[in-house]
Structure 1
Amino acid sequence: MADLHATERLVPDDTGIARAAEVLLAGGLVSFPTETVYGLGGVATDDIAVARIFEAKGRPHFNPLIAHVPDLEAVSKIAELSERAHDLAQAFWPGPLTLVLPMRADAGLSPLVSAGLTTVAVRVPDHPLAQKLLRAVGRPVVAPSANPSGRISPTEAAHVLAGLGGRIEAVLDGGPCSVGVESTIVGFNPEPVLLRPGGLPAEAIEDALGAPLARRAEGAGINAPGQLASHYAPDARVRLDAEAARPGERMLGFGDADGEMNLSPSGDLVEAAANLFRMLHALDAAGDAPIAVAPVPDTGLGRAINDRLRRAAAPRD
């Protein structure tokens, strides 16, 4: 890895975007905002850049990455879309949906991107900075969440710098992310399968398909990002479904169950998703006392919130 003395913090204007594209095309790593979380970008066709993402994050090499591109035309150059996949792409791209698709033989992606699988995870992000940067680069950009592997995902540039400062070349600061949890991932087997709940509610996908999504089998092998049992974790231990804090705990509330911080006093799941990682970062930075989390309804975006919380609370190696 290059000797990085300091990570550049780039402003979100044409100059900052041009500098970010320059760094990426030179083989460097740049964190940039999407509507979900900040991604750690590297050019997907550059073996060394992709390898450096795994190194910077401490990410297991068996965990595949998501290739980000600006539009459906760019997707078709690296992956094959079935009729069902095309329907979902038309309905929800750009947006917080990732599709796991058969990879084209001539895709030209680093083998590390797919972790040796014959499929590739692809997304068209709905964030103006991400769109401008991807068009400036002109190549697919892999961008897992810009945090040390297994830790809380970043929704602000400050989170990225706290976790990866000095280990990557730059971060393009676009302010807070609006969705706040990673994309929903859907694969095809051959019917659509929910591989990871995320920022697009499964109900919306099922409405578009006119049929329920299949669910990933328990214990199935890793075939998409975000499936590790312990993930998105703060340093502090996490206890779920807490009605109130126990002595020595800090409480992360929801709705009427209040605490030091509250994901959404009004019980709004969209607000809760946007606040989740930011509040976990803040509570974790305040000390090592365990974090108790109030129950969150397991519907709509609540499924993604609860998925992240369960992984944050899972036993760690």
Structure 2
Amino acid sequence: MTTSYDCADADQRAAGLEHAQRAIREHKCVVLPTDTVYGIAADAFSPQAVTLLLAAKGRGRTMPPPVLIPRLNALDGLATDVPAEARRLAEAFWPGGLTLILHAQPSLDWDLGETKGTVALRLPADDVAQDLLTLTGPLAVSSANRTGQPAAQSAAGAEAQLAESVEVYLEGGHRPVDGSEAEPSTIVDATALPLRVVRQGAISLERLREVVPGVLGAGEAEPAMNETPDSGPATPDETPDSGPATSDETSRN
């Protein structure tokens, strides 16, 4: 049975987080706020849960969801061969609207879809999201909407689209909190050097270059080794669906 909790109320927030943790453990989906838009989340290490997440959105395995993490040091547990430049971006912009595509740790037992051996990671700057991630560990999270529809900016908006496919809705008010329009995270491909933006979003190219001057912008020339269509990593399913150069969130996320 679907239940919604108002996280502005301390008691409901505690009950909602407990219910959401239980739902994740039972391989079900939940909706939570992030600093960009609302996301639909599932256990990243449960193929069954990830399949339910993609089905709820009406997506296939070719659009794998990114993974939200609770703290920066989770980066090395989920990714390998992390370039120093990517680490500098993470240290500068996490928590926040930056998603990094990295080589996934080969020993991890998960199935996020057709990722080509990569994983898209983000640490969100949202208290409710961080509280849930602390309880559950890494979550596969995509924007809380049906494919082709606007990304939800409230739990109520998400429920109008996703209905009973989600066990728990955590309502945290409008996202972004300043009331602005939905803006996706910026996605940076860090599987090869130089780093390159594959979707411009909340973090501008100028800000990225203040930390790593050699970051390539979306559409700029790439190294010859990346020119063939099959050589790049899978672009994550990130927030929102309407963002350029990708299929969906991550905001999420």
Q: Same fold (TM over 0.5)?
A: yes
Calculate the aligned-residue CA RMSD, in Å. Answer: 2.4
Residues 200-279 of structure 1 mapped to structure 2, 5 A cutoff: 200-216=203-219, 223-225=234-236, 231-232=241-242
Q: Which has the greater radius of gyration?
A: 1
Larger RCO, structures 1/2 (Cα 8 Å, 6+ apart): 2
Residues 180-195 of structure 1 mapped to structure 2, 5 A cutoff: 180-188=182-190, 189-195=192-198
Match of 1:253 in 2: none
Residues 193 and 212 (structure 1 numbering): CA distance in 2 closer, same or farther, change over 3 Å?
closer
* Separation (CA, whole Å) in 2 of partners of 1:83 and 1:19: 38
* Separation (CA, whole Å) in 2 of partners of 1:147 and 1:57: 6
What's the offset of the Cα at 1:197? 1.1
Match of 2:168 in 1: 170
Match of 2:250 in 1: none
Structure 1 residue ranges without an equivalent (≥5): 1-5, 233-303, 312-317
Number of residue equivalences? 227
Q: C-alpha deviations, 1:202-226, integer Å up to 9, x for none?
A: 2211111123424357995672135
- Equivalent of 2:157, from 159, 164, 174? 159
Indicate the SS of the match to 2:79: coil
What's the offset of the Cα at 1:37? 0.8
Q: Give yes or no for contact 1:28–1:169 (8 Å, CA) kept in 2.
A: yes
Q: Give yes or no for contact 1:67–1:123 (8 Å, CA) kept in 2.
A: yes
Which amino acid letter does the alignment assign opposite residue 92 of structure 1?
F
Q: Give yes or no for contact 1:93–1:126 (8 Å, CA) kept in 2.
A: yes
* Separation (CA, whole Å) in 2 of partners of 1:107 and 1:181: 31
Structure 2 residue ranges without an equivalent (≥5): 8-12, 221-226, 248-253
Q: Give yes or no for contact 1:193–1:216 (8 Å, CA) kept in 2.
A: no
What's the offset of the Cα at 1:60? 2.2
* Separation (CA, whole Å) in 1 of partners of 2:218 and 2:36: 22
For the pair 1:39 / 2:39, whether they are aligned, the reply is yes
* Separation (CA, whole Å) in 2 of partners of 1:79 and 1:50: 19
Indicate the SS of the match to 2:78: coil
Q: Give yes or no for contact 1:65–1:224 (8 Å, CA) kept in 2.
A: no
Indicate the SS of the match to 2:174: coil
What's the offset of the Cα at 1:169? 1.0
Which amino acid letter does the alignment assign opposite residue 96 of structure 1?
G
Q: Give yes or no for contact 1:34–1:126 (8 Å, CA) kept in 2.
A: yes
**Percent identity, aligned pairs only?**
29
* Separation (CA, whole Å) in 2 of partners of 1:15 and 1:198: 33
Indicate the SS of the match to 1:147: coil
Q: Give yes or no for contact 1:191–1:214 (8 Å, CA) kept in 2.
A: no
Q: Give yes or no for contact 2:200–2:218 (8 Å, CA) kept in 1.
A: no
TM-score (norm 1): 0.66
Which amino acid letter does the alignment assign opposite residue 166 of structure 1?
E
Which amino acid letter does the alignment assign opposite residue 145 of structure 2?
N
* Separation (CA, whole Å) in 1 of partners of 2:115 and 2:93: 27
TM-score (norm 2): 0.82
Match of 2:201 in 1: 198
Q: Give yes or no for contact 1:31–1:172 (8 Å, CA) kept in 2.
A: yes
Over 6 Å off, 4+ runs: none
Q: Give yes or no for contact 1:66–1:122 (8 Å, CA) kept in 2.
A: yes
Indicate the SS of the match to 2:165: coil
For the pair 1:101 / 2:102, whether they are aligned, the reply is yes
Which amino acid letter does the alignment assign opposite residue 46 of structure 1?
S
Choose 177-186 or 38-47, whichever is displaced more: 177-186
Q: C-alpha deviations, 1:88-121, integer Å up to 9, x for none?
A: 01000111100000111122222xx152411100
* Separation (CA, whole Å) in 1 of partners of 2:64 and 2:193: 20
